[in-house]
Chains A and B, each alone.
Chain A
């Protein structure tokens, strides 16, 4: 039986700040809670009860504190082994945690955040602000832009975010040939026009650039059926609209989808389909291409287009473009039974399906410097279910691509507030044994700083010195302070579905 995670947590009286079961990001079916996860969850509850009583706190308040977060990781170590950097002291002393993990130690720039068009967003202003900080129900509002701001910016340390696209294309004209605008262009659950509008709303409100956005337009979205080729007029009109009018900061491609009904997906190294798009985009000055790779078991006929094998030629042929490979091309998520079977994961080498191909590309092309590995959902879900694979994910990404080519993404708010993923990565470490055996380096604070935000800032041309001065003074920081001062707290409920 499938239930929303918040409902299952409420029913069981669970209030863990870290998911102890993989949550579906709605791109997949999560697996049932494992025995280890059940044990972990049980330990969190036991430890929280014991420690909150000792400290004279309400259990719920304890779990929402940094001590609660530390308790969750400590319990994780008790079940999975010492994978998290956490001490018993941090679970009972706020100051100990604060000293060890100072807030804002890292500049956090999340390149994979989403919301949906399930709710009317309305204009920025009082109505928008009144709703921030309220505990929203998990219905459509929880997936909306207002809650996005709360979860991403108020409830976590995230300083900048990219609103990341989803499959869908805009309808450019009506039947009479009239150019459509805004909502009339439709475009799926998170269309480009909406990402753009939301970006502007938030940045205007903050009076500072906090949010960037992507555009969904892709080479197979407008198709000339007579010529059986891209409708370049319509395609380039939309491309230009998204760059010039919407002000997008990157493309987001789902090569294995076909919203334009071209009859096929497309490869990123297709000289007839993708290359003209690259050239046109270059002309307009947009050089960042983000691509969903991996997580594509849904389609027999098009799923193979999510394989990263097309990155190599595309990146080599276009050294002036930047390619960000989302999910680090992990084929199977921890929600699919195949993810750890021998065909998909080889514990002897630490290789796992499709991610190994992404690594091989770099091995074959050591000079290639324009491909980046994004870790949204891959890191978070592996951290929960398979810490050893998680070590291989991070270890190999850094070993082959370098710590300056791994990019932070979370896939939130599908995962609720990203703070637990942030805390997990802060404390994440690769064991000595695995480092030695596989030639990985221990993660340093410098590595984490790059991954958390410095790399994305470089890719997106963010003037960090200027930004770090501007953030504390901007309206979003003021609203966040007011939100916290008036009792606003992170709601631990992750939005998504779990199997019970």
Chain B
């Protein structure tokens, strides 16, 4: 897109907020469904129980599935990470992050809490970086990260109930009857989960620009799959907000907007992304002429390249 056009869009975005935008009968994203704000976290079935039966498709790949790797034992990380962590006092036990930056965690003395170390590990330089004062923070993880890196977070105490992302985070509070009635498990292959419910489930974490109305935290309060995440998570769908995002986050927000504001129900995240397999495989089958490709890729000299982008999320630090 030409620079001038981008600039125009940004300028327009500044003057027109989401609520003032008059697209064809925009929907109120928060109007449907319910939420679990103020309610206890459900006594959901944990992954260890789910996988006893669901090993046939899920089990052997789950250990390497990125949704399971939101928190990882330090002992299983590469040697460089372990070596660097040795200089940190206080026995780090876990890491979170990706190839750009890793953070260290340890169990707190209190239930469902992890302490976050102020220093980060940079895989490119293989060095620790970050805060000048090395320290363990007690509340940072719970207030910023727990909602998407763990499962079943108590909105008042910020205590999680399972490390990493568990089946409940996406499939909901599923009972045994789902064996005969697949619709009881959200996102099941045989059950038909409405587009806005699917999008809501994915958006609980993949929208990184929201704020909880109930808690002020960057993740929705006590989101239970099946809820409408946007009842609690305040998100701006303005063009200005879109323009500020990097291509990946814009792609997500645009598609969420299409469903929750414009009523698109023929496509959802799972149309292109397969969570239990390679998430990116399916999108490679899109025709190269698809406009959606340009969100993240450039085509030049007959070669497709992925756009580089700057850090856009202070919460997630990428």
| Contacts of A222-263 to chain B: CB distance below 8 A | 223, 225-226, 228, 254, 256-259, 261, 263
Q: Is the CB of B49 within 8 A of A168?
A: yes
For A302, list chain B residues within 8 Å (CB).
48, 163
Q: Is B311 an interface residue (CB 8 A)?
A: no
Choose, from A26-34, A155-163, A418-426, the stretch at the interface: A26-34
A263-B160, A263-B161 given; A258·B48 CB < 8 A: yes
Known: A258-B46, A258-B162. A166 touches B60 (CB 8 A): no
Q: Does B302 contact A (CB under 8 A)?
A: no
Q: Are the CB atoms of A167 and B60 closer together than 8 Å?
A: no
Q: Contacts A300-B73, A302-B48: A336 and B111 contacting too (C-beta < 8 A)?
A: no
Q: A30 — nearest CB in chain B belongs to which residue?
A: B56
Nearest CB of chain A from residue B62's CB, rounded to whole Å:
5
Give A26 to B56 CA distance when docked, in angstroms.
6
Smallest distance from the beta carbon of B193 to chain A beta carbons, Å?
22
Given A257-B49, A263-B163, A228 and B109 contact (CB-CB distance below 8 Å)? yes
Question: Which of these binds chain A: B64-72, B221-229, B235-243, B252-260?
Answer: B64-72
A24 contacts partner chain B, Cβ-Cβ < 8 Å: yes
Query: Quick check: A298 and B51 within 8 Å, CB to CB?
Result: yes
User: For residue A168, which residues in chain B have a CB less than 8 angstroms away from its CB?
Assistant: 49
Q: Chain B interface mostly helix, strand, loop or mixed?
A: mixed
Contact assessment for B56 and A261 in the assembled complex, using a CB-CB cutoff below 8 Å: no
On whether the beta carbons of B69 and A27 are closer than 8 Å, the reply is no
Contact A24-B52, Cβ < 8 Å, known A226-B111, A300-B73: no
Contact across chains for B63 and A188 when beta carbons are under 8 A apart: no
Q: Is the interface of A mostly helix, strand, loop or mixed?
A: loop
Within 8 Å CB of B60, what residues of A? 28-29, 297-298, 335-336
Is A167's CB under 8 angstroms from B49's CB?
Answer: yes
Q: Is the CB of B48 within 8 A of A259?
A: yes
Per-residue interface assignment for chain B, residues 135 to 167, with 1 indicating a CB less than 8 Å from any chain A CB and 0 otherwise: 000000000000000001000000111111000
Instruction: Kindly identify which residue among A2, A117, A297 contacts B56, using a CB–CB cutoff of 8 Å.
Output: A2
Using known A-B contacts A27-B59, A167-B48, determine if residue A300 contacts B72 with beta carbons closer than 8 Å: yes
Chain A residues positioned under 8 Å from B49 (CB to CB): 166-168, 188-189, 257, 259
Is B312 interfacial (CB-CB < 8 Å)?
no
Q: Which residue of A lies closest to B76 (CB)?
A: A300
Interface residue from A228, A258, A335 paired with B111 (Cβ < 8 Å): A228
**Chain B nearest CB: distance from A138 CB in Å?**
14
Task: Tell me how far the C-beta of A375 lies from the nearest C-beta in chain B, rounded to whole angstroms.
Answer: 20
- Interface positions, chain A 22-56, Cβ under 8 Å from B, are 24, 26-30
Do A298 and B63 have beta carbons less than 8 Å apart? yes
Q: Judge if B179 is at the interface, Cβ distance under 8 Å.
A: yes
The one of B56, B63, B71 that contacts A497, using a Cβ cutoff of 8 Å: B56
In the complex, what residues of A have CB within 8 A of residue B76's CB?
A: 300
Query: With A and B bound together, what is the CA distance between A336 and B63 in angstroms?
Result: 13
Residues on A with beta carbons closer than 8 Å to the beta carbon of B179 = 118, 140
- Cβ of B163 and Cβ of A301 under 8 Å apart? yes
Q: Does B110 contact A (CB under 8 A)?
A: yes
Apart from A26-B53, A166-B49, A263-B111, 13 more pairs, CB < 8 Å: A30-B56, A118-B176, A167-B52, A189-B52, A258-B46, A261-B43, A261-B161, A297-B60, A298-B60, A298-B63, A299-B68, A301-B68, A302-B163
A interface residue numbers (CB < 8 A to B): 2, 24, 26-30, 117-118, 140, 166-168, 171, 186, 188-189, 223, 225-226, 228, 254, 256-259, 261, 263-264, 297-304, 335-336, 497
Chain B residues proximal to chain A, CB less than 8 Å: 43, 45-49, 51-60, 62-63, 68-69, 71-73, 75-76, 109-112, 152, 159-164, 175-176, 179-180
Q: What would 22 A/B residue contacts be, using CB atoms closer than 8 Å?
A: A26-B54, A26-B55, A27-B51, A29-B56, A140-B179, A188-B49, A189-B49, A189-B53, A189-B176, A223-B111, A225-B159, A259-B45, A261-B152, A263-B160, A297-B59, A297-B60, A298-B55, A299-B48, A299-B62, A299-B63, A300-B76, A301-B73
Query: Considering the complex of A and B, which 3 residue pairs feature the smallest CB-CB distances, nearest first?
Result: A257-B48, A261-B161, A228-B111
